[in-house]
Amino acid sequence: MIHFKQQGKFFVVAVLFVMGVVGIIGFNTGTSHAAAVTSSAVGIVNYQLLVSQHPDTAAAEQTMNAAVAQAKSDFDAKSVNMSDQEKQAYYQQLQQELQQKNQDLLVPINDKVMAAVKSVAEAKGLTVVLDKNSAVYGGQDITDDVMKLTAGK
C-alpha cells in the first residue's frame, strides 16, 4: 500500500509537470505571435553607408587629409634636431591631435545621420532601429529613406 501511495504522488507530480509544460507552450505561442506583430516596428539601416555617403563626409575627409599632410610636414620639419625619444613623444602628440580632429569632424555627421534616422523612424512608426549588421532577420530597411532625407539637407 505504501508503494502505491508513492506512485500516486509521482503520478500527480508528473501530471502537474505536463500541464505546466503545456501551459508554457501555449503561453509562448501567444507571445511569439505578439512579437511577430510588433516586429514590424523594428527598422534597420546601413549606418556605415549613411555616414560614408553623407554630403558632409567628403569635406570632412578633405579636411582630415589636409590635417594629416600638415602634421607630417610639421613632424618632418621640427623633428630634425630631436632625439629619438623626443621624436616619439612629438609623434604621439600629433597622433592625438589628429584623432581629436577626426572626432571633431565626424561627431556632427553622426549627429545629423542619427537625427535623420530618428525622423524617418518616427514618421514610419518604428520603435527600434538597428544597424543592418546587427540584424539577423527581419526589420524594415529605412536606409534609402534616411539617405534621401540627409541628401536634402
| Secondary structure element (H or E) that encloses residue 130, with its range | strand 128-131
Taking the C-alpha atoms of residue 34 and residue 101, their distance in angstroms, rounded to an integer, is 47
**How much is the pLDDT for 31?**
42
- Which residue reads 505504501 in cell numbers? 2
User: What is the pLDDT averaged over residues 97-121?
Assistant: 94
Taking the C-alpha atoms of residue 60 and residue 58, their distance in angstroms, rounded to an integer, is 5
| 90 contacts 74 by C-beta, under 8 angstroms | no
| Secondary structure element (H or E) that encloses residue 85, with its range | helix 84-124
Judged against a pLDDT cut of 60, whether residue 127 lies above it is answered with yes
Strands 140-141 and 128-131: what pairing? Answer: unpaired
- Which residue reads 508528473 in cell numbers? 14
C-alpha cell at 84: 629619438
Q: How confident is the model at residue 136 (pLDDT cuts 50, 70, 90)?
A: confident
Domain spans, the chain: 41-151
* Per-residue exposure over 27-66, b if at least 16 CB sit within 10 Å of its own CB, e if not: eeeeeeeeeeeeeeebbbbbbeebbeebebbeebeeebee
* Per-residue exposure over 135-145, b if at least 16 CB sit within 10 Å of its own CB, e if not: eeeebbebbeb
Encode pLDDT of 70-95 as tens digits.
999 999 999 999 999 999 999 999 99
Residue with more model confidence, 60 or 24 = 60
Distance from the Cα of residue 42 to its chain's centroid: 13
Question: Which residues are bridge partners to 128 per DSSP?
Answer: 42
**How much is the pLDDT for 40?**
64
Taking the C-alpha atoms of residue 88 and residue 72, their distance in angstroms, rounded to an integer, is 13
The top-level CATH class assigned to 41-151 is alpha beta
Encode pLDDT of 5-57 as tens digits.
444 444 444 444 444 444 444 444 444 434 444 446 899 999 999 999 999 99
